[in-house]
Amino acid sequence: MPVSDQRDRYPTRLSEPAPHIERTDASVWGQVTSPELAGFHANGFATIPDLLTPDEVAAFGAEIGHLAADPVLYGDERVVVEPVAGQVRSVFQVHQLSNPIAELLTESRIVGLAEQILGSPVYLHQTRVNYMPGFGGSGFAWHSDFETWHAEDGMPAPRAVSLSIALTDNYPFNGSLMMMPGSHRTFVPCLGETPTGHYRESLREQRIGIPTPDDITFLAARYGITQFTGRAGSALLFDSNLMHGSSNNITPFPRSNIFLVFNSVENALVEPFAAPQRRPQHIAARDFTPVRDVPESVGALADQTL
């Protein structure tokens, strides 16, 4: 159900610098009942310790290990490879490649977190597994996910959240996510025209749609920087406009996570606001079926030949 208001309230990918835009959209649209989410409005994120049990961590860790090692997947467009090390960086549309992940994301302990924040039924905008191997995992430049989803996917407003579920321990030194608490309230317009097929390069190393060093310096002085650390099984739920990034992993300790993006059905995608064409479905889904209405066989594609 696409929204009727298609005005561009968050212009970006500009030819000249523009002032930051203070957010007028809500950051919490629903009724928060989970104690872990109490600070979401102020910070733009919340941590959920022990979202998965140790047995679940082991099972999902084995599952994503099989995906990364599957030779059939190499060459598939859903697989992104590290630009230097040549190892798997991300696997997209993972809920259609893994029945266990498909079943997990429909559970109330998972989808219910997004529904509380977004105040409506939610659908899957994107799913992926992120791998950051030891001695070769490259980081992610400072960015707001919403800037890309707005510019290249046509997401009207920052009414989406990401749930990152850690399958390995997150230390301060193995490329764990850095965040600026409260930065979800400030939208930073970025410079540069979006090239055709930009997603092919940006998923490996993003250079367009990222703030300038001056922008990051200003935001860091205003909001500060914190880091998501914790043992495997913990999770981070964060606002689509939260400024975040990570450094390279030069340690022997890998870092991997299941990454689920939930968007409100009342914030469904329209045409891209600052790109010549839509990104493919495996990156930006246009099936707006609420997660709770998806049949249990959602992961049936996992058994099909790629």
Residue 134 is predicted with a pLDDT of 82
Q: For strands 235-239 and 45-48, give the pairing.
A: antiparallel
Tell whether the model's pLDDT for residue 306 goes beyond 50. no
Of the spans 119-123, 175-179, 254-258, which averages the highest pLDDT? 119-123
Segment 50-88, tens digit of pLDDT: 999 999 999 999 998 888 777 777 777 788 776 655 677
Select the more confidently predicted residue: 11 or 250: 11
Tell whether the model's pLDDT for residue 26 goes beyond 70. yes
Model confidence at 268, in pLDDT bands (50, 70, 90)? Answer: very high
* Cβ atoms 241, 44 nearer than 8 A: yes
Q: What mean pLDDT, rounded, does the chain reach?
A: 89
Percent of the chain with pLDDT over 70: 91
Distance CA 270, CA 1 (A): 10
